[in-house]
Amino acid sequence: MSKKNLFPVLLIIFGSFLEVYYYAFRFYNDGIPVWLSIVIGVALTLLLAMAVNQRTWAIVVPVAIYSIMATSAGQSFSLSEKVQAEIQEESKNVFILEEIEDLESQIDWLDGEISRLSAGVAETASNTQDRAWWGKYVKADEERIENYRQERRGLAEKLSTLRSGAVVHSEVKKPLRTTIYDFYSDLFAWPADWLQFIFQTVLSGFIALMAPLGILAIKKPVEKPEKFDRWKNLSFVGIRTGKSDKLLSKEAFFSFIKKNKEDFTQNEYNRCLEYAIDRGLVKRSGKIIQKSIDK
């Protein structure tokens, strides 16, 4: 691959990948399996590429329009999945925070009960005689205290785990922006839906143009014209005589051809010139780069 074709080829590769990617999102959200969505995307991308290569504009235009619409929808589906994931994560965090509050409430109640029972035991069993008299009641309260403490330890461990895994959000005074389009909407006071539609459609248009432009930009090898050697022999006269480093003017060339009654058309001359430029023999300005007449 020549250096001239490097960027067009890269444009074709990346443009086709992006198109297939958003095509796949579009068809997958129609309930089509992932593998089949990718196959359809590849097929449509190849159809557009072949139509451009064959210059079949009657196919290029409708397929390009459909590509813009489909890949724009694919971007919307991709964004909606991201937003949905964020909403689910937010709901999960809210649930965790509610569970944390409930555990804290239970622990506070247990602390209160443990303190109340401990105070009662201390007051009732202040001496050995009282303890012997109220023994069974004291023992029951002490067992309850121990059970409460065990329950509290379990709740405290669960609370610690929830706190370490929870994403705690500070209280906000206005709804969170879920996408960049909400930011633009606040900035320009335009509806977020319309901003999303405009941005995604424009991007889809650029994506749809990438592969076709890459195909059109590829420089195909120029075949050597049949009369190139004759053209070169006449056009490089300045090099042979050492009087000029430029091609013989087109007027002088055809004047000589006409004088010698040779058959040489304008199209043949142009093809010979393009071939010489493509091979790096001359510049488009007419200056000769390759000095040797034999190369």
Residues 181 and 254 in one domain: no
Dihedral sign of CA atoms 97, 178, 70, 206 in order = negative
CB-side neighbour CA atoms (13 Å) of 55? 1
Q: Which domain holds residue 210?
A: 3-77+191-217
What is the structure's pLDDT at 45?
93
Residues 144 and 182 in one domain: yes
Residues 211 and 72 in one domain: yes
Note the pTM of the prediction, 2 decimals.
0.55
What is the structure's pLDDT at 81?
77
Residues 100 and 52 in one domain: no
What is the structure's pLDDT at 40?
93
Residues 292 and 263 in one domain: yes
- Give the residues of the chain that fall short of pLDDT 50: 168-177, 295
Residues 147 and 19 in one domain: no
Residues 231 and 260 in one domain: yes
Residues 92 and 180 in one domain: yes
Say if residues 178 and 86 touch (Cβ distance below 8 Å): yes
Q: What are phi and psi of 191, to 5 degrees?
A: -60, 135
Q: How far apart are CA 248 and CA 242, in angstroms?
A: 13
The number of distinct structural domains making up the chain is 3
